[in-house]
Chain A
């Protein structure tokens, strides 16, 4: 790891100023759980680390019946995991956090850091996509709001400009008759996922599908929302056959990358299994 300077701005405003000044010489550090590993391997050598972990204006979880939930970017995984508001309104997020890494990493790592590092296997994005989350980005020209699925652009790349930060995750209230499930496949527990799948269904009163969301991790350079597979369910009664059909459609959208642990075919096969399982699980929550 190379030497670097360290700045701890006192506010979001000051953070943006610092970033605007130093541009690509500066790098945000939140919990450091991903960044420090990257620095240690000399994959990146910023001149200045800008620490936002202590900014209390980015550390909160609120809920409003109409607006839904807001989670500040520096909220730790642990805080999300144990938040009574999260457990009450979006239990899937608490469950997801409970299986993300280890307590040590969850105590330090932040939800913003997880989304910004944009590891294509990351746990946080798929359930957020399934929950229709949006993200608030703050920069020198003010704020912009984007759907979660539009935030990531490539491996370890997001829409963030050098002088922007991710400030908040917003999740709309859950519609009635909605079920959401997420799970991931790992060979070693506590490890990053190999692949994972999140599925959400909202049913009409007659039991047909009003809306479906399917998102996977580890199956593309970015968290993959699969609209073609979602469309299979629209307006129909969800059956095992229909799920199988959607799974096959979803498989077409995946471009898994082989690595040391698993081949691309294997990853795709397992991701499909997980979509099937999560679809059944989400459905079982409403039926």
Chain B
């Protein structure tokens, strides 16, 4: 199996050249003749009734071509990805009669340029009746708290509760030698994609609309835009140019998309709506803040028998993808450990803040911070090596989570062992000089979700492959390249299957008019799902090519054939074969010139409640803490990741490094600070992202290869899992270095100093 031509190799990205030369087109580069600029007016209040909107002065301003408001100019349809669960759909493009967070769009204008549009916004007069607001989920759940949404399924601002349970948790706790309970707080952060939300809509009349937009999910935009505008899905063409990052923040229909479309319909001109960075903060999304309580029961030998997790998430003003983050956080709380008795209760609570949604890791980063921190506390209590207790409780291949999942391939043991070996864990753990420490974090993650919230009748991924007479190959996919390298992976899979060079593959993507429907880039699903669809499509083509080759060669026995290195040949007798192009030509001629096309699709079958396959990994970080300032320096970070069969080594490495840096910022510096619902740091000056010089110089990516039967060539995810262990890993290393444990994130230098002060005080008291 290992004799691959391109699979598993460090392949250059197919969009790399145009990106590094600046030739790649993003939505901001789309400029159409007569194009107008659209801007949105946003709420200055966290919670208010809208009594009246007067747009007359704005309409009179020279250069203004249209002004729209929710009640007057939209259908007022509540939409979201939750089409299958309509009670969760709670958001409209523009406010209808009430605003629920600062930054919520109320009205929009289209004008000849941005200055005029801005001026017009300042002329719109909105009359508000200010309502009491609530900003903390625990407050919001209390009786008498302001109610942010009405509706039969919402009670005390809880829009969704998740519960799962298996084994006998209460009995198991009684049997345990020890039970400990710890609480944690996770803070809000933003996706911080470099490309802001951006859309250009062009209404072509007759109910036909084209929209260029920065999205992770072109198909969702197509269906939901149809719903919001009252148009037919098929008459809406969504084009996704290159996308400058999404991280979960661009997988829903957003106001810029709807507003651009309506303004274009009103004016008959193309309209661009591009958000500023401040708007991306205020009118965008964030990762869920969470209050976590973990109760874990364990035996003297370190075996974990039972766990109970309770979670309150600060969902913000609308559900967005919150209910799934809630579900997955409770689910990943178990990973990568075999917990025999588990109970989870999670509550998604509305607050008057920007909605929180999916963000790289999808509930996992919060879960693993709490889980990894607590496992180290348990290890310390028992005097065990934290690596050993992890190995002891790890999942094994074939592990079943009752009612939820079956884990087929699982390389967590190898991951932990290789990370230990590569970092010198045994020599270092607990033995480093004061101020230096080493810590571990572990994780497992899904390779795509089995979720079909959008209620699509289509397969989760579709693919079409066409081989041209000169042997070049056109690959049509609906999956979304957003910088993660998925188009390159798709090209590799086809190149490998058909035995043609990468340079002969042309990927057609990012256009719902020409590409098959696909659920898009979220949940680390694309390699596995579109990969499987591509394999099916290629197999159809190979079937025709093999038959043609057999007819051309006419051997007197029936053989199996293979395609590799530009040849189609008899598997057992590789010297007997034909040139790939020759066989392709013959196959097309034999079919009366009909194009040589293969079509494939993939939808998970019988794969439990979460995912068809799970990645695993272990991370070790070595830190140095400056005890006078509290600053943490990362000396060395090593991650061993099991993504099944590696498809693109460079791609996996890039994802592992990128995910770590994101986690590093989550842990040490990033924090979306609000006061009464107002974001206080809506810029990259005040919101502290890690930058290139902060990346630890010693970063090692180890790829642990397993074979995943459900994955294409045995592959699994490599995009998100690694965002999950960073915080726990770094927190554990800090504890090893200076003996203080921070349980409320982020771990800032100031918090470390405070904790050190307290520790000193306690020690002084004896």
User: Which of A190, A260, A273 makes the CB contact (< 8 A) with B693?
Assistant: A190
Least Cβ distance of B607 to chain A in Å?
Answer: 41
Q: Which residue of A lies closest to B750 (CB)?
A: A266
Asked if B631 and A187 sit within 8 Å, CB to CB, the answer is yes
Q: Which residue of B lies closest to A42 (CB)?
A: B118
Residues of A in contact (CB 8 Å), total: 21
> B127 an interface residue at 8 Å Cβ cutoff?
no
Across the interface, which residues of A come within 8 angstroms of B750, CB to CB? 262-263, 266
> B749 an interface residue at 8 Å Cβ cutoff?
yes
1/0 per position for A251-263, CB-CB distance to B under 8 A?
Answer: 0000000011111
Asked if B753 and A266 sit within 8 Å, CB to CB, the answer is yes
Asked if A273 and B686 sit within 8 Å, CB to CB, the answer is no
Q: How far is the CA of A281 from the CA of B694 in the complex (A)?
A: 24
Least Cβ distance of B215 to chain A in Å?
Answer: 25
Across the interface, which residues of A come within 8 angstroms of B749, CB to CB? 187, 262, 266, 270
1/0 per position for B109-130, CB-CB distance to A under 8 A?
Answer: 0000001000000000000000
With known contacts A266-B750, A266-B753, A269-B753, A188–B628 Cβ distance under 8 A: no
Q: Which residue of B lies closest to A276 (CB)?
A: B628
Asked if A270 and B686 sit within 8 Å, CB to CB, the answer is no
> B2 an interface residue at 8 Å Cβ cutoff?
no
Q: How far is the CA of A84 from the CA of B677 in the complex (A)?
A: 52
Asked if A188 and B694 sit within 8 Å, CB to CB, the answer is yes
> A154 an interface residue at 8 Å Cβ cutoff?
no
Q: Which residue of A lies closest to B748 (CB)?
A: A187
Within 8 A of B (CB), among A154-213: 185, 187-192
Least Cβ distance of A279 to chain B in Å?
Answer: 14
Across the interface, which residues of A come within 8 angstroms of B683, CB to CB? 41
Within 8 A of B (CB), among A241-284: 259-263, 266, 269-270, 273
> B515 an interface residue at 8 Å Cβ cutoff?
no
Asked if A185 and B629 sit within 8 Å, CB to CB, the answer is yes
Q: Which residue of A lies closest to B665 (CB)?
A: A188
User: Which of B115, B673, B691, B753 makes the CB contact (< 8 A) with A189?
Assistant: B691
User: Which of A37, A187, A266, A269 makes the CB contact (< 8 A) with B688?
Assistant: A187
Asked if A188 and B680 sit within 8 Å, CB to CB, the answer is no
> A2 an interface residue at 8 Å Cβ cutoff?
yes
Q: How far is the CA of A187 from the CA of B686 in the complex (A)?
A: 12
1/0 per position for A208-231, CB-CB distance to B under 8 A?
Answer: 000000000000000000000000
> A3 an interface residue at 8 Å Cβ cutoff?
yes
Q: Which residue of B lies closest to A269 (CB)?
A: B753
Across the interface, which residues of B come within 8 angstroms of A190, CB to CB? 691-694
Across the interface, which residues of B come within 8 angstroms of A263, CB to CB? 750
Q: How far is the CA of A273 from the CA of B753 in the complex (A)?
A: 13
Within 8 A of A (CB), among B671-710: 671, 673, 680-681, 683, 685-686, 688-694
With known contacts A270-B629, A273-B629, A188–B753 Cβ distance under 8 A: no
With known contacts A187-B668, A189-B694, A190-B693, A261–B688 Cβ distance under 8 A: yes
Across the interface, which residues of A come within 8 angstroms of B688, CB to CB? 187-188, 191, 261
Asked if A260 and B691 sit within 8 Å, CB to CB, the answer is no
Across the interface, which residues of B come within 8 angstroms of A191, CB to CB? 688, 691
Q: Which residue of B lies closest to A3 (CB)?
A: B115
Q: How far is the CA of A244 from the CA of B213 in the complex (A)?
A: 59
Q: Which residue of B lies closest to A277 (CB)?
A: B628
Q: Which residue of A lies closest to B746 (CB)?
A: A187
> B669 an interface residue at 8 Å Cβ cutoff?
yes
With known contacts A261-B688, A266-B753, A273-B629, A189–B693 Cβ distance under 8 A: yes
Across the interface, which residues of A come within 8 angstroms of B629, CB to CB? 185, 270, 273
Across the interface, which residues of A come within 8 angstroms of B680, CB to CB? 260
Q: How far is the CA of A2 from the CA of B278 in the complex (A)?
A: 17
Within 8 A of A (CB), among B701-743: none
Q: How far is the CA of A260 from the CA of B753 in the complex (A)?
A: 17
Across the interface, which residues of B come within 8 angstroms of A259, CB to CB? 686
Q: How far is the CA of A43 from the CA of B373 in the complex (A)?
A: 44
Q: How far is the CA of A190 from the CA of B695 in the complex (A)?
A: 12
Least Cβ distance of A219 to chain B in Å?
Answer: 15
User: Which of B631, B693, B748 makes the CB contact (< 8 A) with A185?
Assistant: B631
Q: How far is the CA of A188 from the CA of B680 in the complex (A)?
A: 18
User: Which of A3, A188, A273 makes the CB contact (< 8 A) with B689?
Assistant: A188
Across the interface, which residues of A come within 8 angstroms of B694, CB to CB? 188-190
Asked if A188 and B681 sit within 8 Å, CB to CB, the answer is no
Which applies to chain B's interface (DSSP): helix, strand, loop or mixed?
Answer: loop
1/0 per position for B611-634, CB-CB distance to A under 8 A?
Answer: 000000000000000001101000
1/0 per position for A1-35, CB-CB distance to B under 8 A?
Answer: 01100000000000000000000000000000000
Asked if B686 and A260 sit within 8 Å, CB to CB, the answer is yes
Across the interface, which residues of A come within 8 angstroms of B685, CB to CB? 37, 192
With known contacts A260-B680, A273-B628, A188–B691 Cβ distance under 8 A: yes
Least Cβ distance of A45 to chain B in Å?
Answer: 10
Least Cβ distance of B73 to chain A in Å?
Answer: 27
With known contacts A3-B115, A185-B631, A269-B753, A261–B686 Cβ distance under 8 A: yes
Q: How far is the CA of A145 from the CA of B689 in the complex (A)?
A: 40
Q: How far is the CA of A260 from the CA of B686 in the complex (A)?
A: 7
User: Which of B115, B278, B673, B690 makes the CB contact (< 8 A) with A188?
Assistant: B690
Q: How far is the CA of A192 from the CA of B629 in the complex (A)?
A: 17
Across the interface, which residues of B come within 8 angstroms of A189, CB to CB? 691, 693-694
Q: How far is the CA of A190 from the CA of B115 in the complex (A)?
A: 33
Q: Which residue of B lies closest to A185 (CB)?
A: B629
Q: How far is the CA of A260 from the CA of B681 in the complex (A)?
A: 7
Q: How far is the CA of A261 from the CA of B688 in the complex (A)?
A: 8
With known contacts A185-B631, A187-B668, A187-B749, A260–B673 Cβ distance under 8 A: yes
Across the interface, which residues of B come within 8 angstroms of A3, CB to CB? 115
Q: How far is the CA of A185 from the CA of B629 in the complex (A)?
A: 9
Q: How far is the CA of A157 from the CA of B341 in the complex (A)?
A: 64
Across the interface, which residues of B come within 8 angstroms of A41, CB to CB? 278, 683
Least Cβ distance of B128 to chain A in Å?
Answer: 24
Across the interface, which residues of A come within 8 angstroms of B671, CB to CB? 260
Interface centre among B629, B669, B749 (most CB of A within 10 A): B629
Q: How far is the CA of A191 from the CA of B685 in the complex (A)?
A: 8
Least Cβ distance of A33 to chain B in Å?
Answer: 12
Least Cβ distance of B278 to chain A in Å?
Answer: 8
Least Cβ distance of A210 to chain B in Å?
Answer: 29
1/0 per position for B407-437, CB-CB distance to A under 8 A?
Answer: 0000000000000000000000000000000
Q: How far is the CA of A262 from the CA of B686 in the complex (A)?
A: 11
Least Cβ distance of B79 to chain A in Å?
Answer: 33
Across the interface, which residues of B come within 8 angstroms of A37, CB to CB? 685
Q: How far is the CA of A191 from the CA of B684 in the complex (A)?
A: 10
Asked if B669 and A188 sit within 8 Å, CB to CB, the answer is yes
Least Cβ distance of B400 to chain A in Å?
Answer: 44
Across the interface, which residues of A come within 8 angstroms of B748, CB to CB? 187, 261-262
Q: How far is the CA of A214 from the CA of B750 in the complex (A)?
A: 24
Within 8 A of B (CB), among A38-74: 41
Across the interface, which residues of B come within 8 angstroms of A262, CB to CB? 748-750
User: Which of A2, A187, A273 makes the CB contact (< 8 A) with B669?
Assistant: A187
Least Cβ distance of B404 to chain A in Å?
Answer: 39
Across the interface, which residues of A come within 8 angstroms of B628, CB to CB? 270, 273
Q: Which residue of B lies closest to A191 (CB)?
A: B688
Given A102-B693, A187-B688, A262-B748, list of 19 further CB < 8 A pairs? A2-B115, A3-B115, A37-B685, A41-B683, A185-B631, A188-B689, A188-B691, A189-B694, A190-B692, A190-B694, A191-B688, A192-B685, A260-B671, A260-B680, A261-B686, A262-B749, A270-B628, A273-B628, A273-B629
Instruction: Please list 23 pairs of residues, one from A and one from B, whose beta carbons are closer than 8 Å in the complex, sorted by A's number.
Output: A41-B683, A185-B629, A185-B631, A187-B668, A187-B669, A187-B688, A187-B748, A187-B749, A188-B688, A188-B689, A188-B691, A188-B694, A190-B691, A191-B688, A191-B691, A259-B686, A260-B671, A260-B680, A262-B748, A262-B749, A262-B750, A266-B753, A270-B749
Residues in chain B within 8 A of chain A (CB atoms): 115, 278, 628-629, 631, 668-669, 671, 673, 680-681, 683, 685-686, 688-694, 748-750, 753
Residues in chain A within 8 A of chain B (CB atoms): 2-3, 37, 41, 102, 185, 187-192, 259-263, 266, 269-270, 273
